[in-house]
Structure 1
Amino acid sequence: LLIASILSIMNRAGVPTPSPSIVGKADLDLALIGNCSYGALIDKLGTVKWCCLPRFDGDPVFCSLLRRTNDIGFYEISLEGFSHSKQHYVRNTGVLKTELYNKNGDGIEITDFAPRFMMFGRAYRPIMLIRIVRPLAGHPRIRVRIRPTFGYGWGSPEKTRGTNHIRYLLPNFAIRVTTNAPISYIVDEVLFEVTETTTFALMPDESLKESLHEIATSYLDKTVDYWHEYSRVLSIPFEWQEQVIRSCIALKMCSFEETGAMMASITSSIPVSPKAQGYDLRFCWLRDSSNIIHTLNKLGSTNNMEDFLKYISNIVGSSESKDGHLQPVYGIALETSLYEKEMHRLAGYRGLGPVRVGNKDYKLLQNDVYGHVIL
């Protein structure tokens, strides 16, 4: 799944995408953004289809990727009279740009990113999704629909409104979307004309200490600089440089930097074929992660190796109470019991359920795990 996602990401070169009526069923041609604290998947129309908060293995706030109906579980910015789109990453970064156009020639650009940069000598990676909408041509009118869920699609949270924000009261925590757009337009999901740059910041329920525009602009510049610096120090071959860099960035965004864990995927229950079952892959398989870490280390991304060794050290230390037994897979915060259960509120990708949470592979005995830990 990760390889397929990377190949899909590498193929983004601004090729126009037709309207939703032509596209048909949902697919996995999704762009990944993230900052090693959380990740989100965005389709070519600029809609957030999957995002778990406050961690990669958390309850999906946006889960329309696995829903049969497209009524809740997404974050959409749509253009009136939409006809086609273009999408690409800012070169050698994790910053995504989506351009939407209609038949009248009106157009907008959506910039999506998860802030990540160095602050006070350490990586600053807040739980924040920033979306910047800029008019490109004509008099574009957009509709913003923000419909988070909880309980793996069980329901929609209560929401309250402030002067410049909307608060969504999830069971375990609250999130807010702060914007300089008229709040009534967002709450009522009505069309409105974009005449200037409009910014949206989805984050935990905390007040911003600076103006939204200043924060978004500053965080964008610093995030671009971070990814450029990350890419600059990679030891990559002369051939296929763009593809290798893009793959390294995608793999970097699949790491949970807080503990050093490397996930197999940020999604759950995506089957590899129509007849295969899907599983929750938001965990760290020691064998697979070791191979990925060694590859990144050879390419010069050494921080991942250092963080992963700390993660392994904690696992080995915890295993002493279990006669040194190592599981093949652990949670991203060292969880050992990954009880698997089915979430029937979600139909699964293209209806190919069931959707699973947890993974029973933690019960397996795989002796090659010890060799990978040692090497």
Structure 2
Amino acid sequence: MCLPRPDSPSVFASILDRSAGNFRFGPAGISVPAGRRYLPGTLVIETTWRTRTGWLIVRDALCIGPWYHGQRRSGTHRRPPTDYEAEHILLRTAKCVVGSVELSLDCQPAFDYGRDAAKWEYSSPGYGEAIATGGDGDIPLRLVTDLRVGFEGPGAHATTTLRQGERAYAALAWPRSQYSAGKEFWAEHPPPADVDEAFQRIERTADFWREWINHGEFPEHPWQSYLQRSALTLKGLTYSPTGALLAAPTTSLPETIGGERNWDYRYTWIRDGTFMLWGLYTLGFDREANDFFYFIADVAAEKQDLQIMYGISGEHELTEGTLDHLTGYEGSAPVRVGNAAYAQRQHDVWGAVLDSVYLHTKSRDYMPEVVWPILKKAVESAIENWKKPDRGIWEVRGEPQHFVSSKLMCWVACERGARLAELHG
């Protein structure tokens, strides 16, 4: 888990190294759940646990609530705000449904990709609130729970026994940056104060996702639930302040176990973004389509040509490095952050953009005027470069080669560009 943005340094990364931070909220001594699912129509995860003495249901959600920037503007939003906003809270609730279960909480952040151990201190008179801090530049984490927390080294821990019908919760909150961690920010969107509010927040977040999915157009079909799950996944990969669409929320998960092709995908690829966009507006989610159009307009402003990828706030340079202190997923090293492919030439990018814009414009009879100069430049670039070698959609890191797919997509750029010119007038 990377905070405060998906491309920030991690605080929980045990999937890449056991020492890189973890956060567990579940039955003591049990590591394999009886079942796990998303609640239908939501991005709320429900995990069912069976122990020798009882059954426990745990729900996890990244909380979404009403727009809360009432006193001052958000420092990150460029797109028009909606009625809802991420609350910067990871909320976990537990309920014993049969028998009794020993519940444990183990929160051990490791800031800056595992480089900085957490330092804990209580932030209230009781045992239910604590703040973890790391090194310079690391954001603080605020842990709020109805369990009695104690500290052991870099970890915060608690245990309790839940009996049938009893509930508990743990909430982890963080600021937008290290500069917005004052009392004013914590008061602006506080974590749940008790278990009743925690369960209400989970339901409110679930209701948000169900309301969002209801705006889509899904056919009555046995595969309808799979379409909805795909749409929710794409929405979950959206960085709403800018409209960027992440290729994935992860870095350094290997293409093959033990291999070296372990790339950082926490960025926006223009090609991938346009295909994701195609899926969203085909299902009726126009707002996300328009936000991504304006993200493209922002990153391409005053630039000679489109890059193949950008940071989620429009960063043009994504310098790649390795984290040699991390062992990698099942020993698959190196662990990489950043992606050197940002400087590559991939000639299919122009066709991908123009094809997506054409389909959207044709189906909605609308194209943001600000996008037109970018499309014109994309067609000109395709005409100028189609005979030249490039790195292709496989992003080869050797010498440029001639790829049929790249040349085909240059043709697509020209053909879709001609159609768009007719529609544009």
Tell me which interval the TM-score lies in, with the shorter structure as reference length. 0.7 to 0.9
Kindly indicate whether the alpha-carbon contact (under 8 Å) linking 1:132 and 1:200 is maintained by their aligned counterparts in 2. yes
Q: Does the alignment pair 1:98 with 2:47?
A: yes
For normalisation by structure 2, the TM-score amounts to 0.70
What per-residue deviation string (whole Å, max 9, x for no partner) do you get for residues 188-246 of structure 1? 63542124311111002625387333542332222111111122222223231111111
The residue type paired with residue 55 of structure 1 is: R
Q: Does the alignment pair 1:235 with 2:217?
A: yes
Partners of 2:119 and 2:9 in 1: CA distance: 16
The residue type paired with residue 117 of structure 2 is: S
Partners of 1:62 and 1:152 in 2: CA distance: 8
The residue type paired with residue 75 of structure 1 is: F
Give the structure 1 partner of residue 237 of structure 2. Answer: 254
Kindly indicate whether the alpha-carbon contact (under 8 Å) linking 1:152 and 1:345 is maintained by their aligned counterparts in 2. no
2:143 to 146, 167, 177: 177
Kindly indicate whether the alpha-carbon contact (under 8 Å) linking 1:185 and 1:191 is maintained by their aligned counterparts in 2. no
Give the structure 2 partner of residue 168 of structure 1. Answer: 132
Kindly indicate whether the alpha-carbon contact (under 8 Å) linking 2:248 and 2:265 is maintained by their aligned counterparts in 1. yes
What per-residue deviation string (whole Å, max 9, x for no partner) do you get for residues 295-318 of structure 1? 111011222101101101101214
Partners of 1:301 and 1:56 in 2: CA distance: 22
Give the structure 2 partner of residue 26 of structure 1. Answer: none
Q: How many residues align?
A: 318
Q: Secondary structure at the match of 1:307?
A: helix
The residue type paired with residue 193 of structure 1 is: T
Partners of 1:139 and 1:148 in 2: CA distance: 29
Structure ID, larger Rg = 2
Partners of 1:190 and 1:212 in 2: CA distance: 16
1:354 to 329, 334, 341: 334
Q: Secondary structure at the match of 2:312?
A: coil
Q: Output aligned runs, 1:73-222, within 5 Å.
A: 73-82=21-30, 84-104=33-53, 106-119=54-67, 122-162=83-123, 163=126, 164-171=128-135, 172=137, 173-184=139-150, 189=157, 191-195=159-163, 196-204=166-174, 206=186, 208=190, 211-222=193-204
Q: Secondary structure at the match of 2:333?
A: coil
What per-residue deviation string (whole Å, max 9, x for no partner) do you get for residues 15-52 of structure 1? xxxxxxxxxxxxxxxxxxxxxxxxxxxxxxxxxxxx11
Partners of 1:209 and 1:147 in 2: CA distance: 19
Partners of 1:209 and 1:73 in 2: CA distance: 22
Q: Secondary structure at the match of 1:176?
A: strand
Task: Return the offset for 1:79.
Answer: 1.6
The residue type paired with residue 310 of structure 1 is: Y
Instruction: Report % sequence identity.
Output: 26
- Once the two structures are overlaid, the 10-residue window that deviates more, 158-167 or 204-213, is 204-213
Partners of 1:209 and 1:351 in 2: CA distance: 37
Give the structure 2 partner of residue 11 of structure 1. Answer: none
What per-residue deviation string (whole Å, max 9, x for no partner) do you get for residues 327-365 of structure 1? 101000100110000011211111101010100011111
The residue type paired with residue 194 of structure 1 is: L
- Once the two structures are overlaid, the 10-residue window that deviates more, 182-191 or 226-235, is 182-191
Task: Return the offset for 1:262.
Answer: 0.6
TM-aligned CA distance change 1:84 to 1:339, over 3 Å: closer
Kindly indicate whether the alpha-carbon contact (under 8 Å) linking 1:81 and 1:103 is maintained by their aligned counterparts in 2. no
Task: Return the offset for 1:253.
Answer: 0.5
For normalisation by structure 1, the TM-score amounts to 0.79
Unaligned runs of 5+ in 2: 69-81, 175-180, 358-425
Task: Return the offset for 1:371.
Answer: 3.3
TM-aligned CA distance change 1:287 to 1:153, over 3 Å: same
The residue type paired with residue 62 of structure 1 is: F
Give the structure 1 partner of residue 2 of structure 2. Answer: 52
Provide the alpha-carbon RMSD of the alignment: 2.1
Partners of 2:105 and 2:157 in 1: CA distance: 6
Q: Does the alignment pair 1:331 with 2:299?
A: no
Task: Return the offset for 1:250.
Answer: 1.1
TM-aligned CA distance change 1:188 to 1:243, over 3 Å: closer
Kindly indicate whether the alpha-carbon contact (under 8 Å) linking 2:16 and 2:326 is maintained by their aligned counterparts in 1. yes
Task: Return the offset for 1:155.
Answer: 3.2
Unaligned runs of 5+ in 1: 1-50
Q: Secondary structure at the match of 2:330?
A: helix
- Considering Cα pairs closer than 8 Å and 6+ residues apart, tell me whether 1 or 2 has the greater RCO: 1
TM-aligned CA distance change 1:293 to 1:209, over 3 Å: closer
TM-aligned CA distance change 1:145 to 1:209, over 3 Å: closer
Partners of 2:20 and 2:340 in 1: CA distance: 29
